Amino acid sequence: MPWVLIKNNLKLMLKNKWILFFMTALPLMVMALLASVFEDMLGKDTAIEKIAVGYAIHIENEEEEQSFREAFETFVEGCEENDIYLQEYEATEYKDLLEKKATDIFLLVTDKEMIIYGSEDKKIETMVLNSALASFDKMIHSVKVLKEYLTENPEKVQNLKETQLPDKDYIKAERLAVNPLPSAMDYYGIIEVVYFAWAGMVSLSVVISNERKNKIENRLQIAPVSKLSLYLGKVVPCVLATAVELGITMGLSIMLFGVHWGKIPASLGILLLLCIASGTVGVLLFYLFKSVVVSIVAGYLGLMTIGFLGGTFNMYMYAYPEHVQKLSVQYYVNRTLVEYSTMGDSAYASGCITFLTVIILISTTLGMFVMNKRMEV
């Protein structure tokens, strides 16, 4: 192992103040900015809070109105059990009630129809009430049909009374286990650390520029050092420098913003794999292109692509279809670490580790091959 080369390159990487700022302070600024922008989309329950519904019943036939009110009382009780609270008002009051926000929506029941009044920002509440009323209307219609049938066929009433229903609940309520949403700060606090981990090649650019400027590569070719040692002399310090910079960023994000990381040993293991993948890809790009600038531009084009697909900028819960997102390693890393934070475990962990391992193996093999070719020229 080329310890001297690793030590010198590591010192060179960590000495550059601009790169240190780029890899530590910039992620904090980005996560704070994005978290403040998207705080309303994350970190809150998706369930609707209590819905206040004003209603008025205006049916001309008194007998029909009385019959409707008796059935409607059951509907009101059922709604209250589901946090939908109905209060009766005069039909002429609905505009004032909605303008003063004394009620979320207003229901007017007439002989011919039921009308729901609501503002543009109460679409979801309106849909919920509309769905409940549709079920209620079907029940009312079924009762009417049954009443008419029994009135015309009185002999059927006795048969109906004698019918024994089995002692069994036909309606069952079950709660589905859903993935909890992280807070915006937790989401972007994790995601931006992952994103900037791929930018570790920026630290390596200092070493590559220095070697090419001072023609150190030419001297290393005649030195009694193996090609593997030369390769490791770049990858290892790049991985260590990126890990140190990420460690500083993570520590500051926890202290300043309270970012919550779950399953710490597993999360750190995945981040270490990510740093290795970032280092090996960086070395490959720097040997693939003669220009340092072109290498960095190529790296960031790739990073932007996997970032967009993987939920770095637009949250993966609301981004592209999952089969598209799965093309990006960023999606697996992001989702694994976020689910570690919110659930304590993730079904995507094995896929994440496999994806990163494959990238490390491929980029290492290609990186060694391209480096050997470059040094032979």
Residue 347: what are its φ and ψ, rounded to 5°?
-75, -10
pLDDT of residue 276: 94
Q: What is the mean pLDDT of residues 83-89?
A: 88
Residue 211 pLDDT > 90: no
pLDDT of residue 317: 56
Summarize pLDDT for 163-172 with one digit per residue, the tens.
454 444 433 4
H-helix or E-strand spanning residue 40: none
Which percentage of the chain shows pLDDT scores above 90? 18
Report helix, strand or coil for 16: coil
Looking at every residue in the chain, the average pLDDT score rounds to: 80
Give the CA count within 13 Å in the CB-facing half-sphere of 365: 6
Summarize pLDDT for 327-351 with one digit per residue, the tens.
888 889 999 999 999 888 888 999 9
Comparing 12 with 224, the larger pLDDT belongs to 12
Summarize pLDDT for 286-295 with one digit per residue, the tens.
888 878 888 8
pLDDT of residue 316: 61
